[in-house]
Amino acid sequence: MKNFSFNPRIIAAALILATAAGIALFPLTRQAQAIPGANITLPPSAQDHSIEVVFILDTTSSMSGLIQAAKEKIWSIATTMASAQQNPDIRMGLVAFRDRGDAYVTRVFDLSEDLDTMYASLMDFRAAGGGDGPESVNQALYDAIHRISWSEQGNVYKVAFLVGDAPPHMDYQNDVKYPVSLVEARRKGIIVNTIQSGQHQNTRPAWQEIASLGDGDYFQVEDSGNAVAVATPFDEELSKLAAELEATRLYYGDDKARKAQKRKLEANAKLREGLSTEALARRSAYNATASGKKNFLGDSELVEEVTSGRIELEDIKREELPASMQMMAPEEQMEVITEQAQRRDELQQKIEKLSESRNRFIKEKVDAAGGADDSLDEKIYRAVRDQAASVGLSYDSDSAKY
């Protein structure tokens, strides 16, 4: 066995380096989120961020105006959330509710990055039922907290917006009352905001208490939602460009993947047929953001997967390629993908430029009208901006996206 001698200078240098490394890593361990399999942790600001938002929506007859506003504005709300510096992933869900004795008490649509499919479900809702005062708010809150697949990560802004015009039934037996559900919401890190539609005095105290117990904010809007609705000269062109952009998508995969893709394409067609030109323009603006990319693409989109290098074209089974490409030679297949990628880039640049012009046009109109501080758009934005800061999300804009 060899004999080793120790140089005091080398030992001293090693100790100095170890101490310096420990000091450098110390800030990373404070208020940190763990990285699985690693011995160090990173603070929330150094990690990817996400927003999970659920709308708990009263769908009884008296809510028809606000439901219509929600259908028109959900895309601009998503774009507002996407405007954070960190380009957060956005998942959205919905709990529609009425009351016992109506066609349904609650209908739950889980969180998803596929906002198109969620929105297609929202389009089917028509205000009906109700009319007898209190509604099943307790059940709606319970389902939103317990039946939605909220993540357990610490760098996620988890928020629910309870929207309605009537107080909860507190006289139902075997009904979990809202204070109990809100204790669980706080344990899970879910903030609950309330938006009161109309000015019913008996609704306000309950809505304010729910917001207080849910660490959230209380807002009141008119029955119409006070939403900013400005048609622009750019809307029609934006909706056309969005349709052309969607035509650049090519999907691949097995039977299971194809079924999911079919559902998404059906939802897209439903949106194009049923949305106003203005709403289609708002949707195109969202899909052009980094956060909206997943909604636009969906899963197993060939052009994105191949051009990004996440998958090699030769690794895909011929029968799993788009039908139009299965009989092509590999060189022809690659040529199609390259052409679609170039066309997509051109369209996205046009959409981004037009969206900027649209935003400027709307801002000028809003400013000329004295601002929109009382609008649904601004109240939601202020809540998101202030609350999301707790997980490291930061917003520079002084107003919402419209």
Least confident of 127-136, 177-186, 198-207, 257-266: 127-136
- Tell me, what's the pLDDT at 132? 63
232-to-49, 83, 235, 365, 370 alpha-carbon distances in Å: 32, 21, 6, 10, 18
- Phi, psi of 76, deg, nearest 5: -70, -30
120-to-59, 98, 147, 153, 274 alpha-carbon distances in Å: 16, 20, 20, 28, 9
The 8-class DSSP code of residue 135 comes to B
- Tell me, what's the pLDDT at 355? 93
294-306: pLDDT as tens digits: 999 999 999 999 9
Please compute the mean of the pLDDT values over residues 102-129 and round it to a whole number.
87
CA dist 81 and 92 (Å) reads 11
66-95: pLDDT as tens digits: 888 877 788 999 999 999 999 999 999 999
- Does this model's pTM top 0.85? no
pLDDT: is 131 or 119 the higher one?
119
User: String of b and e for 204-230 (b: at least 16 CB within 10 Å)?
Assistant: bebbeebbebbbbbbbbbeeebbbbbb
- Tell me, what's the pLDDT at 68? 82
Q: Which of 287, 305, 273 is nearest to 245 (CA)?
A: 287
139-185: pLDDT as tens digits: 999 999 999 999 998 789 999 999 999 999 999 989 999 999 999 99
Please compute the mean of the pLDDT values over residues 37-63 and round it to a whole number.
70
93-115: pLDDT as tens digits: 999 999 999 999 999 999 999 99
Helix (H, G, I), strand (E, B) or coil at 18: helix
The confidence band for 41, taking pLDDT boundaries of 50, 70 and 90, is very low
Q: Between the CA atoms of 200, 206, 210 and 216, what dihedral angle is there, to the nearest 10 degrees? A: 40
CA dist 21 and 8 (Å) reads 20
Least confident of 24-28, 166-170, 243-247, 351-355: 24-28
Q: Which of 181, 158, 159 is nearest to 168 (CA)?
A: 181
Work out the mean pLDDT of the chain and round it to a whole number: 86
The confidence band for 133, taking pLDDT boundaries of 50, 70 and 90, is confident
- Tell me, what's the pLDDT at 131? 64
- Tell me, what's the pLDDT at 70? 79
In 83-177, which residue ranges form alpha helices assigned H by DSSP? 115-123, 137-146
In the predicted model, is pLDDT for residue 128 greater than 70? yes
Helix (H, G, I), strand (E, B) or coil at 24: helix
CB atoms within 10 A of CB 167: 19
Least confident of 35-49, 129-143, 217-231, 386-400: 35-49
Contact, 323 vs 250, CB < 8 A?
no
Please list, in sequence order, all residues whose beta carbon lies within 8 angstroms of the beta carbon of residue 179, skipping any fewer than 6 positions away: 213
Classify burial at 51, counting beta carbons within 10 Å of its beta carbon; exposed 0-12, middle 13-18, buried 19 or more.
Answer: buried
Full set of structural domains in the chain with CATH? 46-228+372-391 (3.40.50.410), 235-364 (no CATH)
